[in-house]
Amino acid sequence: MLGKFQKSELRIEVKAKETIFRDSLLNINELKQWCFPVTLTKKTTEKLSQGDSFSCYLGLIEIKNQVDYLNNNCVRFILSGGIDGYQEWCWGDGWIQSRLEGISVLPLNLLQTFNLLRLKSFAQNIK
% of the chain beyond a pLDDT of 70: 94
Q: What is the pLDDT of residue 78?
A: 98
Whether the predicted pLDDT of 69 surpasses 90: yes
pTM, entire model: 0.91
Compute the mean pLDDT over every residue in the chain, rounded to the nearest whole number. Answer: 91
Give pLDDT tens digits for 87-122: 999 999 999 999 999 999 999 999 999 999 999 999
Give the 3-state secondary structure of residue 27. strand
% of the chain beyond a pLDDT of 90: 72
Beta bridge partner(s), residue 5: 103
Looking at residue 10, what DSSP letter applies?
A: E
8 Å CB contact between 90 and 74: yes
The 3-class secondary structure across 45-102, one letter per residue, is: CCECCCCCEEEEEECCEEEEEEEEEEECCEEEEEEEECCEEEEEEEEECCEEEEEEEE
Q: What is the pLDDT of residue 42?
A: 63
- Structural domains of the chain in order of their starting residue, each with its CATH number: 4-124 (3.30.530.20)
Q: What is the pLDDT of residue 41?
A: 73
Whether the predicted pLDDT of 19 surpasses 80: yes
Q: What is the mean pLDDT of residues 49-67?
A: 89
